[in-house]
Structure 1
């Protein structure tokens, strides 16, 4: 989030500390979500604002010089690269700050990094066909796991499977929803409501079956469309240069600030071992049940969601229309 100004701190140094959050995340490797706020060196944040960031949002505040766009972009991007283990190297360009000196930036990175509780045998991966929405077929690396316990549910309109990640303590699951051939992935997204999700979660059970799933990598950068989404959710005033009120951040009586830009980048790399071959302890134990074997071949666009199991909260949701890089 870039907050623009109209009308004091050190460069690249944190003004808040968040060791408790880092320690907690060290025990959970599946999902890493990091937030930082960068303020211009001419802004002196209020102590109450700093306390709120750390106590309630576990967010660090950093200082930089937005009158030097190259320096500001480099410092923020270095922080992003460090937090995401270099999976995301560039969140901002210098020209993001060139037109109008920014007074604050909120950087939000979300990175999935975990291994499957039950990996796919790498030797089983073969080229397979994936049918795009245009009717075109693409050949993609298709992972395959046979005679395994699948956390599975189905209806007359879709099939779904949950793949658990290894992890100690908190548990995360990658849920995949494949609409039947006569439905579309956009239809699937429309069905995803809090009420339906709560109902579907109760219908998953372990069944023996075979799963074929394409490998894929995605890295997406959300900009203007994210800003529009936030406005739709009721944040119109924050983007209005005349009506926005951020006076609780700092003493800013000499000028007006408002949100000028919202930027988010997400990266997911899914393969036979998980998202990266990083070993962590603990995880789900799966029992192979008896019953009718199932077969799920993910060879057309699908919806996925990464879920925190204890709460049912969806951390990441996306649609894969084309898994080919």
Structure 2
């Protein structure tokens, strides 16, 4: 079942974006070009947003899993644009986790950072998180949808199905996986939930497929202060190999929450309702994205999150649009879930038929432009039978970014841009 959230961009893995400490040494004032658009609405020192009381163990777990997942993907694809939704992956695997038992359940718990936390607490957390995201205003559109597609020839445990209906509001359908039209039915559902941004998440199904579990997320929000399109111009962007390309970049002078550390700069750009924001981390010329990734830990994130300070500055940001897809099997195996993909997998809480995960596929889309951001993600799990300072932040080289929810302290999307000209 689909739910739309207005005035809210999504986040599910506590990638909580932040507010950071004052700089050790002041930055010199930098005169800005007179033709830049200036923010008409200064950022208030504190914006009253009621923090939703979520289980802190699970907030930390989801954040840590998100960083582990992203770091593993980055290691395998260090020279490519990456964009993932850790929240989408976490929800899809949390649904699957309800069917695991024994060593398979233990391995999934370690990978998802859920050791010592009951399944009931996990389900309650995900339910409360999604309810919280429903509590929004009118400037942002969000939807989160879950579904369970069942092989009509397989009997599932009633308790498993009831948990997905109760806690995840999942659409539940029986399909004939021998019929080639079943794949199209599932993909049409994903296409609808992601506003036509993701057309295919399931490439094939067969009679050996027990179930396919899917999470889909859609997010669209305008910036609190839009970039003036007339100021978007071709600007140099230096790639990792030192090559310089010309790419359309947006510019605006205004008040932002800003952080300066020895190895990177960071700026927070709020969306219209200010509950959601994009944080952008730009490694300095003496550093690199690979070095930044080594610092990307839960502890550092929490430290950085309290350190942003309001400053007036110039932000130059390249427009970019990315479509990203990958199979997560090897990534999840590297994180400790090998048994879930093996003949030894134990999913007796899902079905009495011997089953294992055959594929976890993730697909995303993001478009960042002068008005704001549109993003979507889908994750499928196929279970198989048998087995006041002035600054300048010129984002003209590879950078990391994330979109998070201030109210719940969770993250929905994160990525790295190596080349903004690539889609």
Alignment of 1:126-275 (within 5 A): 126-146=233-253, 148-167=254-273, 171-223=275-327, 226-241=328-343, 243-252=344-353, 256-275=354-373
**Relative contact order higher in (CA < 8 Å, ≥ 6 apart):** 2
Where does the alignment leave 5 or more consecutive residues of structure 1 unmatched?
4-17, 278-290
For residue 197 of structure 2, what is the aligned residue in structure 1? 87
Q: Deviations over 1:130-159 (max 9, x none)?
A: 11011111111100112x111111112110
Going by fraction, where is helix more abundant, 1 or 2?
2
Task: Give, in whole Å, the separation in 1 of the partners of 2:282 and 2:314.
Answer: 15
For each residue in 1:73-116, what CA deviation from the matched residue of structure 2 results, as whole angstroms up to 9, or x when unmatched?
201110111000001111122xx336x73121122333332111
Q: Which residue of 2 aligns with 1:72?
A: 182
- For the residue of structure 1 that corresponds to 2:336, the secondary structure is helix
Native 8 Å contact 2:228 2:251 kept in 1:
yes
- Aligned counterparts of 1:89 and 1:321: Cα–Cα separation in 2: 25
User: SS state of the match for residue 221, structure 2?
Assistant: coil
The alignment's TM-score, normalised by the length of structure 2, stands at: 0.62
Q: CA deviation at 1:298?
A: 0.3
State whether residues 132 and 408 of structure 2, in contact with CA within 8 Å, keep that contact through their aligned partners in structure 1: no
**2:150 pairs with 1:43:** no
Please state whether the residue corresponding to 1:49 is helix, strand or coil: helix
Gaps of 5+ in 2: 1-91, 97-126, 376-387
Give the structure-1-normalised TM-score: 0.80
| CA RMSD between the two structures | 2.6
The aligned residue for residue 97 of structure 1 is 205
